[in-house]
Amino acid sequence: MDVTKILAELRQERIQLEEAILSLERLARGRGRRRGRPPAWLAETPKKRGRPPGSKNKKGDKSTEE
């Protein structure tokens, strides 16, 4: 490989690195508050449906006497 090819490849890599650095800087700058509903994967814990544990029908409840 001659020197001109090496220089061309290094310049190309430098351009790619500069673009990557700019992209990361933009990402770091844009970390403010976001508007709107957060995506589902960001939800802390999934909401459980149904009765909470330990809540059973009582003996005197009318719905169980039928």
Taking only the tens place, the pLDDT of each residue in 32-49 is: 677 788 777 776 666 677
Amino acid 62: pLDDT: 62
Average pLDDT, the chain: 80
Amino acid 52: pLDDT: 76
Q: State the chain's maximal CA–CA distance in angstroms.
A: 93
Supply the pTM of this predicted model: 0.44
Quick check: 41 and 35 in contact, CB under 8 A? no
Q: What is the distance between the alpha carbons of residues 33 and 51, in angstroms, rounded to a whole number?
A: 35
**23 pLDDT above the threshold of 80:** yes
Q: Residue range 6-20: average pLDDT?
A: 96
